[in-house]
Amino acid sequence: MANIKVGIIGGTGMQDWDVFELKEEKDVVTPYGKPSSKLTLGTVDGLECVLLNRHGSGHRSSPTYINYRANVYALHQEGCTHILATSACGSLKKECVPGHFVIIDQFIDRTNKRHTTFYDGEPGSLEGVCHIPMRHPFCAKLREVIVKSCIEEKVHVHSKGTAITIEGPRFSSYAESHMYRSWGGSIINMTTIPEVCLAHELGMLYAVIAMVTDYDCWQEDHEAVHVDYVMKVMKENREKVTRVVAKTLKAIGDIDWAAEVENAKMIAKTSVML
């Protein structure tokens, strides 16, 4: 079996998880600067894990200005082979109810102000141009493990869906929300891009638990999204996602990931033109 280590990126409302058996904090610096938070290193049933808070302490970083490259690279530096991320999101489908989890399998990128590659030609950056494939952005095997964990923990889960990732930090207009629905979007969030793309460039397996908090603003008979409502539902989601993540980590440690890890590294390597 391959040596594996799981990076966990906690999103909105998911700071300061207490899921590790042994833990220590570590300050790190990467070629792309400092990550959003210190790293918390620990174990779950013997599986090595590294926790990072996407928005930093106190949710101080807006989605646009998160240093995604430093975050992902920091986990890579620590030897992580997997990234398990969480993300608060709005629903674009009636059946994706607040409190449900969606284990997304596709995305549509509506961001426009972010560094989306490690290969940008700047001093200290990785050399070359990386044309990373994105047909299947999220690791299917890791998604299956998460879905199974949700079912076992009796959390209502949708096994696939398309995420619309917007720039933020503002929420959508009514017209935008309906446009995204017409595109086939399942959920809307602000952080999946460029996280998943950067993970692929470094040959890491990535999946995200999208936790539905609201119906964005498209639904006439439901309250439009606002911060107070999001945080209220996130408090309810926190206990559920903690159970799901703990169950998922225990399951990951029992699985042979050698083929998936090797394949991800091979694709990342062969996608670079020097």
The active-site residue, picked from 216, 221, 254, 256, is 216
Residue bearing the bigger pLDDT, 103 or 59: 103
pLDDT in tens, 131-177: 999 999 999 999 999 999 999 999 999 999 999 999 999 999 999 99
Could you check whether the bond before residue 194 is cis, i.e. omega within 30 degrees of 0?
A: yes
Cα Rg for the chain, rounded, in angstroms?
18
| CA 159 – CA 114 distance, rounded (Å) | 28
The catalytic residue among 18, 214, 221, 228 is 214
What is the reported pLDDT for 255?
96
Give the per-residue pLDDT at 136.
Answer: 97
Residue 216 bears catalytic tag: yes
- The answer to pTM > 0.85 is yes
Nearest to 103 by CA among 197, 192, 229: 192
**Separation in Å, CA 99 to CA 71, 189, 216, 238:** 27, 15, 14, 10
pLDDT at position 56 is 84
> Could you count the other beta carbons within 10 Å of the beta carbon of residue 255?
15
